[in-house]
Amino acid sequence: MKRSLLIACSAALALNAQVFELGQVEVVANKEGSKTSDNNVAVITQEDMQKNEIKRLSEVAESTAGLYVDKKGPRAEQNFYVRGFDARRVPLYIDGIPVYIPYDGNADFGRFTTFDLSRIDISKGSSSVLYGANTMGGAINLITRKPTRELEGNIGYGFETGKSSDTFGNNVDFNIGSKQELFYVQAGGSFMEDQGQQLSNDFDTKVTGNEDGGRRENSVQRDKKFNIRVGFTPNDTDEYVISYINQKGEKEQPYYTGIYKNYNQAKRFWDWPMWDKESIYWLSHTQFENSLYVNTKAFYDKFKNDLDAYSPSVFHSHYRDKGYGGGIEIGGNIGDKDTLKFASSYKFDQHKEHDDGEPVQTYEDKTYSFGLENTYAFSEFTRLILGISYDTRDAVKAQEYGKLTSNQNTLYDFEVGKRHAFNYQAALKHSFDGNDELSLSFAKKTYFPSMKERYSKRFGRNEPNPFLKPEVANHYEIGYARNFGDNLRIESAIFYSKVKDAIGEHNIVINGTTLAQAINVDKADYKGFEFAANYIVTKDLEMGGNYTYLHAKYKNTADTRIYDIPKHKGFVYIDYKILPKFSVYLSQYMTSSLYSNSQSATKLGGFGVTNIKFTYNPLESLSVEAGISNLFDKNYEYREGYPEEGRVFFSNIRYKF
């Protein structure tokens, strides 16, 4: 196909629906000319998602300070780190409801599309104790939509392709809502398909025999999503809501193409024909006199996952997980300047797995959390936020199928037990003149090891350790943000996180065989700073960007490197309205070199990726877009042996009503 912009029909989300307030956990105080007054909470709006072509949650990382892309090539997963902490330690929520996977604590962010979202809140380090357990490195909350009119909605279509016609992708989505006097209804759906990844012209096809360039082998992925919500609003303050979300995904694992031809990943050929999630949840808000309120939640979540392995061994693995639970939050003013909130939650997780021809193995955990948060306003410009929480995880059941005391495979039980964690935090926020905010904070946060970390044998290479202790992180942060008039805003933060009892590995010998075992052996430091600026130069020109520095290392291991995280990353953009109805958006993502650990530590070079998009708005309700991602066809990697896409042409059309 010729290298010209594709101007195709498309449509997407409108900007007319409001944020679903009941889905918020941390109430981010917006100020005129700023996105947030809380420096440790990154707020990604609908407008941000549309400008930066963020159609999957994983794509948030490139344009957001403090976030780092995490591509798990051998598992075809797309995630991101938050100030160095991975997705297990920064759990995912939808409207405050936990949706991470019970077995390994992960959630493949590439499977979560953004078409139905009003906002994404990412808490870095010191997240609210109201979230519940396991928020050691922060929390990610996907906040959905709420209608504001009797009838509103949007519809959209997008198309993309590389130079190879076999690399095209489509996405179609819709949202529709209605707000009546006593109730509202919101529904939406999307379908997103990538027929193949376009490799850069600079990709070296001679490294391994797994890839010949052009279209990336085994790189198809598809995702479908449908959601519906019904809300009852008997008065101006109370709200009672039930929501349903159904996701169906499938993905292929692109082959390893790196320099280590004998690396075990070079021979791994896996596919996931099923990655399905189904969630139903209840949220309510009841307001009483004297500012007292009660919020409740209840949820049920199912996850179905199939893995087909073709090499080096052939097997078909099946996961069937479920989680359910609920919680209550009570809050109100206990004085003219004092607000107190109490929250408790319960979550039951069950993981079932088996390969074809094997019995089903079952793992079950119960997690309880109790949190208390107090906000005291010394004055209009100064407030102190204190939080404490107590969490406990009760491991109820854990089974394995394999050889225990004889050469005969059998289904047996692990020993199980309880673990406890106590967390506390404090934040002082002060404004000098109403146009800025200085924030000083400390937080002690914990993480309960996942079922996989405690019990997995990792294809016979690992000896399980059911009694891993919680990891503990102490976070320290100084942040400052300021508005200079209506045109310029800056945000900055210096942070330091000290982790103890981090999970590492040591070797043990059992019956003459050396195996790895996870233990609480490591200590780690994460320290760095962030800076972001947005400047409205004229009514037609806006520019801005952010920079993050992160130095991360283990303290008491022979190899102190923490892999897959660069020291430097940056993002800059220019948004220019050339004509009243025609604009151009140019962005540049940059990262320094990093170490990737495949067969051995490999240093990957730094890179920069340029994107450009043109937008035409013939009507206020209609937009047509065309652009190019990776404009200069850069060949780059986040994981050694797993190259990213080269130059891709895309287009969208969006209509709202």
The full 3-state SS of 312-374, as one line of letters, equals: CCCEEEEEEEEEEEEEEEEEEECCCCEEEEEEEEEEEEEEEEEECCCCCEEEEEEEEEEEEEE
Average pLDDT over residues 127-136: 95
Residue 37 has a pLDDT of: 45
13 pLDDT above the threshold of 60: no
pLDDT averaged over every residue in the chain: 93
Residue 38 has a pLDDT of: 61
| Beta bridge partner(s), residue 627 | 613, 650
Residue 266 has a pLDDT of: 85
634 pLDDT above the threshold of 50: yes
The amino acid present at 537, given as its one-letter code, is V
Dihedrals phi, psi of 48, to nearest 5 degrees: -60, -45
Q: How confident is the model at residue 88 (pLDDT cuts 50, 70, 90)?
A: very high
Taking Cα atoms as reference points, which of 23, 14, 22, 201 lies closest to residue 115?
14
6 pLDDT above the threshold of 80: no
Taking Cα atoms as reference points, which of 501, 487, 611 lies closest to residue 541?
487
Residue 29 has a pLDDT of: 55
pLDDT, tens only, 103-125: 998 889 999 999 999 999 999 98
Neighbours of 195 (CB within 10 A): 18
**Do residues 506 and 519 lie in contact, with contact meaning Cβ atoms separated by under 8 Å?**
yes
Average pLDDT over residues 487-504: 96
Average pLDDT over residues 56-80: 95
Residue 9 has a pLDDT of: 34
Residue 138 has a pLDDT of: 97
- Going from the C-alpha of 473 to that of each of 41, 165, 419, 420, the distances in angstroms are 18, 48, 16, 15
Taking Cα atoms as reference points, which of 53, 69, 38, 20 lies closest to residue 566?
69
Residue 279, SS3 per DSSP: strand
The full 3-state SS of 53-86, as one line of letters, equals: CCCEHHHHHHHCCCEEEEEEHHHCEEEEEECCEC
Q: How confident is the model at residue 35 (pLDDT cuts 50, 70, 90)?
A: very low
pLDDT, tens only, 188-237: 999 999 999 999 999 988 777 789 999 999 999 999 999 999 999 999 99
528 pLDDT above the threshold of 50: yes
In this prediction the pTM is 0.95
30 pLDDT above the threshold of 80: no
Residue 17 has a pLDDT of: 61
Examine residue 464 and say whether the peptide bond preceding it is cis (omega within 30 degrees of 0): no
SS3 content of the chain, % helix, strand, coil (to 5): 5, 60, 35
**Do residues 118 and 146 lie in contact, with contact meaning Cβ atoms separated by under 8 Å?**
yes
Residue 460 has a pLDDT of: 86
Question: How much of the chain, in percent, has pLDDT values that exceed 90?
Answer: 84
pLDDT, tens only, 543-563: 999 999 999 999 877 788 999
pLDDT, tens only, 387-443: 999 999 999 999 999 988 778 899 999 999 999 999 999 999 999 999 999 999 999
Residue 16 has a pLDDT of: 47
Q: How confident is the model at residue 33 (pLDDT cuts 50, 70, 90)?
A: very low
Question: How much of the chain, in percent, has pLDDT values that exceed 70?
Answer: 95
What's the N-to-C CA distance of the chain in angstroms?
35
pLDDT, tens only, 294-314: 999 999 999 999 999 998 899
